[in-house]
Amino acid sequence: MWPAIAITAFFLALLITAHRFRRTELQEETAALRHTVEVNLDILEAELIELTAAARTQTNVSPDAVEKATQLLRSSQTIAKNARQRLQLASNEELEKMLGLVFGAMNQSTDARRLLNACSPR
């Protein structure tokens, strides 16, 4: 009987250790993903500030292009604002979706930059 109890205790300890390891691993993965989203949000928000100012002062492109760029920028700003509000409480799965949305907003800001001819040589 004692060997059966010892084997059961061993497997129980093994399961608990594996669960703790997986939970720690998931927490680290979530923290890294949260940081990635945050860095990309910072980049996006800086880009939006620059492009919004460019859209207000742009004179060498058509009004239609400025309007389309402004719509893209507004959409990107909405995505960035929503992501920033949910960032700290989001789960790992939500962060993965959020990162995709932020990348999509970054693509929109790139499209707005092209429409505004605001590409600067760096």
Higher pLDDT, 111 or 25: 111
In a domain, 12, yes or no: no
User: Do residues 118 and 51 touch, judged by C-beta distance below 8 A?
Assistant: yes
> Could you tell me if residue 38 is inside a domain?
yes
Q: Provide, for the chain, the percentages of residues in helix, strand and coil under a 3-state DSSP scheme, each rounded to the nearest 5.
A: 90, 0, 10
Residue 47 lies in a domain: yes
Residues 6+ apart with CB under 8 A from 118: 50, 51, 54, 58
Residue 87 falls inside a structural domain: yes
In a domain, 19, yes or no: no
| pLDDT on residue 114 | 92
Task: Examine residue 56 and state whether it is found in any structural domain, yes or no.
Answer: yes
Calculate mean pLDDT across residues 81-108: 95
pLDDT at 119: 65
Q: How far is CA 114 from the centre of its chain?
A: 23
| Domain span holding position 48 | 31-115
Say if CB 93 and CB 34 are below 8 A apart: no
Percent of the chain with pLDDT over 90: 61
pLDDT digits (tens, 9 = 90+) for 27-60: 889 999 999 999 999 999 999 999 999 999 887 8
pLDDT for 2: 77
User: Residue 84 pLDDT > 80, yes or no?
Assistant: yes
Q: Give the confidence band of 23 by pLDDT, cuts at 50, 70, 90.
A: confident
pLDDT of residue 8: 79
Mean pLDDT value of segment 10-26? 76
- Structure pTM? 0.78
Number of structural domains found in the chain: 1
Name the residue among 117, 121, 87 with its Cα closest to residue 102. 87
Q: Across all residues in the chain, what is the average pLDDT?
A: 88
Q: What is the pLDDT of residue 122?
A: 46
Domain membership flag for residue 76:
yes
Residue 122 resides in a domain: no
Q: At which residue do the structure tokens 């949260």 appear?
A: 34
Q: Which residue has the tokens 């980049």?
A: 43
